[in-house]
Structure 1
């Protein structure tokens, strides 16, 4: 029963992660930590193993959804590679921060982080993109209706934000899209679908870097990973398909309430553990 539950967790994480460019780790890590209190197979799981295993899963989620978005021609490769130049080193720094953290502190910090993410999801739709500066990189996108959107960014600012995103990825085992997608939409004027697709491309590259680091430290449980990968792979494809057809407002509303509940539960568990 527990193994079936892991497959379902992988599917849900892959679908939501791909749909909103989150990466899926924000579902996998708290699920592993919380289930560790109630199931035999996950008993005693450490934050390091939860994060390391999540990042391995994220490679497959991100690759699956990135391939789907490539077919839809929504990935901005140049921007994604520039963002990765910041998120890659940031991911390594996050792995270093993670290696000595104890379980209770991790639960509290991650709970606070999840609540912040839910707040970002709450206000994201109410904020308008800033005007694109004439300086720096400028890009254009023509949608299915032939309408062109101009967006752009200052490379130094983009790389700095990406570094922070990468650090959160290595530390918490999340893709970082929960921070990167809003930044791309609000600060740089990215169309929402391009932001999500490009975020998943960046997450794919960053998760490889941080996964290799966690594997070298012995922080991956391969049995858990094998159970989670099939659901994450198909979830990545499903999320990309839903993203193309539907507005994700309802999903976002459900997810942010779910995240607040999980965040409070993690903080409580960390403070009373």
Structure 2
């Protein structure tokens, strides 16, 4: 099959990022699938399918190692099932170039949110405290976090990790490693819902999605084993850097798809 090695390699890279950064891999998959000739809506839909396999692999490994909070994952994932379908519907209505530009904006916005949260933690740090508590109502915080993740998963095919990680840090007062590990579990739920909605509309490229997902299984198994050993500073720096790079790449792809002005 043409580009089979590129597809498999992209899946492995996505899996590595999924386990290390809790972002599901969609930030790699959507630009890659678009570069291989798919339309943006097909890239979003196919990315969701691949992410089911990638995130499931990483989540199972995290669960076996005791690094995932099942109750938190289910609480966040319940509302995401519904909002993912809303995201799928909105994605079918907007032009391709706006979909890609919006994808880039979401990546940059969530990088800023995560950075803001870490600054707040440093300013309010008290070595006598054993844990930090959120000032938000826990039910409202979970609804906002899970609902936002589901909507973005359906709209952009990113699993929702780009918003799950910073919002768990901001609204639920979770440390970055815990946020990443729980994020990967919620992504399984959001990506299943998103894929079902896109498959109903005929947007999913199934063969490419499965190949990317199988490659991602390898990457996710490797990265989830190494995440607990990495310093928080390294994890945070990697998260911010990757979000910024893929955001600007998405802006460039969207810019190239903007239709020319009609002659006057």
1:255 paired residue number: 242
Query: Could you tell which deviates more after superposition, 249-258 or 11-20?
Result: 249-258
Once the two structures are TM-superposed, the CA of residue 202 in structure 1 deviates from its matched residue by: 0.9
Report if aligned partners of 1:107, 1:269 keep a CA contact under 8 Å in 2.
no
**2:21 equivalent in structure 1:** 20
Structure 2 Cα separation of the partners of residues 150 and 65 of structure 1: 27
CA distance in 2, matches of 1:160, 1:207: 18
Residue pair 2:104, 2:248 contacting (<8 A) in 1 also: no
Q: Distance in 2 between matches of 1:81 and 1:27?
A: 26
Normalising to structure 2: TM-score of the pair? 0.85
Distance 1:215 1:260 in 2: 26
Q: TM-score, normalised by structure 1?
A: 0.82
Secondary structure (helix, strand or coil) at the match of 2:68 reads coil
String of CA shifts for 1:89-124, please: whole Å, max 9, x gaps: 111111111123322222222222233234345545
Mapping of residues 125-140 of structure 1, within 5 Å: 125-128=118-121
Deviation at residue 264 of structure 1 after TM alignment = 3.2
Which whole-Å CA distance do the structure 1 matches of 2:203 and 2:97 have between them?
A: 18
Root-mean-square deviation over aligned CA pairs: 2.4
**For residues 3-152 of structure 1, what are the structure 2 equivalents within 5 Å?**
3-33=4-34, 35=35, 42-43=36-37, 45-128=38-121, 149=131, 151=133
Q: For residue 158 of structure 2, what is the aligned residue in structure 1?
A: 174
Q: Is the 8 A contact 2:111 2:240 kept in 1?
A: no
Cα-to-partner distance string for 1:172-209 (whole Å, 9 max, x where unaligned) = 00111111111112221223322211111111012111
Closer, same or farther: CA 242–180 of 1 in aligned 2, 3 Å? same
The unaligned stretches of length 5 or more in structure 2 are: none
Q: Is the Cα contact below 8 Å between 1:13 and 1:28 reproduced in 2? A: yes
The structural deviation recorded for 1:28 is 0.5
- Alpha-carbon distance between aligned partners in 1 of 2:237 and 2:140, rounded to the nearest angstrom: 35
Q: Deviations over 1:58-87 (max 9, x none)?
A: 101110000110112111111111111221
User: Structure 1 256/127 Cα, relative in aligned 2: closer, same or farther at 3 Å?
Assistant: farther
Greater strand fraction, Structure 1 or Structure 2? 1
72-81 vs 147-156, which moves further: 147-156
For residues 128 and 272 of structure 1, do their structure 2 counterparts lie closer, same or farther at Cα, with a shift above 3 Å needed? farther
Unaligned runs of 5+ in 1: 36-41, 132-146
Whole-angstrom CA distance in 1 between matches of 2:256 and 2:242: 21
Secondary structure (helix, strand or coil) at the match of 1:190 reads: coil
**What is the DSSP-based 3-state SS (H/G/I as helix, E as strand, rest coil) of the residue aligned with 1:239?**
helix
Task: Determine if contact 1:98/1:172 at 8 Å carries over to the other structure.
Answer: yes
- Is residue 2:213 matched to residue 1:220? no
1:229 maps to which of 209, 213, 229: 213
Label 1:130 to 1:206 Cα distance change in 2 as closer, same or farther (>3 A): farther
> Once the 2 structures are TM-superposed, how far is the Cα of residue 211 of structure 1 from its aligned partner?
1.0
Please name the residue that 1:271 is paired with.
258
| Cα distance per residue 1:18-73 (max 9 Å; x no partner) | 2111111121112222x1xxxxxx33x22221111100101011100001101121
